[in-house]
Copies of this chain bind each other. A is one copy, B any other.
């Protein structure tokens, strides 16, 4: 930068001001132009380490995910990056595999790298790490799941509406024995969707005994398969299943096939999320579409807002905002009228 200043015939401080959008107003327009030209000519790029050291901001954001390999998350991450990069921020990813110790390690490592804040997709309903971080004043935005302590801004799909749409669709097809294979009840999504399922069934005049639920202990194909077997053992009268997400739905599909049943002829199946390639499954999966890219982008925007507010010291008390993005039922081939009606 001293080279740039020399070439432009000014002091480095002036060069710094000219090159920095937020302070370039303080400098003579002609001078600023000269400095920018010099910078261009020398191919100058500011040293971000020096800037961070001085300003105590890294323009870097930590992103906590369970597992990038879960098809849910790549679009979320892309959304985050598309919202961050025009503002000069970069995301640092960390996969936690839903392992608390691993999460803590990675979280501390990211704090050591001076990230300015976090976007967290790994929230458990009880999450001491996050509560402590909040206490310590670390800016955090939650995406998809949230904690029971509603301390954090939160962006998610409108799960309750999505589940209601799924149930109404099945009821409309004539189903009267609808079951739910839920996600883990230690996560807000698991609880919200399960509650919405019960509520929607009740609204449709289906009593609890005709709308049972089993709990999948993880959002995985395997857990979905196990839970579905359990469900069908106990409730062979079931004609339709609402799954906690698409992976669980896929597991349910395996269970159904393993039992020699056909989907959708014998049993209808609705997923949740509309993950990539859900339309290529056998059969193509009816599911609730969640706009994951937008979820990521919106979460990033919320975090940036918060960071900007922290800049202007005299900011108003920040309330934890909730943003629920609209979802859509996508009807494909895994749902049909129940067997009784077809007979």
Contact = CB atoms under 8 A, between A and B. Distances in A.
Interface of A: 45-50, 52-53, 58, 67-69, 71, 73-75, 77-78, 81, 85, 90-95, 106, 108-109, 111-114, 250, 276-277, 280-284
B74 A69 contact: yes
Number of identical protomers: 2
Contact of A68 (B58, B67, B74, B95): B74
Nearest to A47: B114
B71 A71 contact: yes
Contacts of A114: 47-49
Given A71-B276, A77-B93, A277-B280, 16 more contacts: A45-B108, A47-B53, A49-B49, A49-B50, A49-B58, A71-B71, A73-B74, A81-B93, A81-B94, A81-B95, A90-B92, A90-B109, A90-B113, A91-B92, A280-B281, A280-B282
A339 to B, nearest CB: 22
Contacts of A58: 49
A283 B281 CA distance: 9
Contacts of A111: 45
Contacts of A276: 69, 71
A148 to B, nearest CB: 27
A225 to B, nearest CB: 13
29 contacts: A45-B108, A45-B112, A46-B112, A47-B53, A47-B112, A48-B114, A49-B50, A49-B53, A49-B58, A49-B114, A68-B77, A68-B78, A69-B74, A69-B78, A69-B276, A77-B93, A81-B93, A81-B95, A85-B109, A90-B92, A90-B113, A91-B92, A91-B93, A92-B92, A93-B93, A277-B277, A277-B280, A277-B281, A281-B281
A281 B45 CA distance: 48
Contact of A53 (B50, B75, B81, B85): B50
A234 B340 CA distance: 48
A169 to B, nearest CB: 22
A111 B43 CA distance: 12
Given A58-B49, A111-B45, A280 B93 contact: no
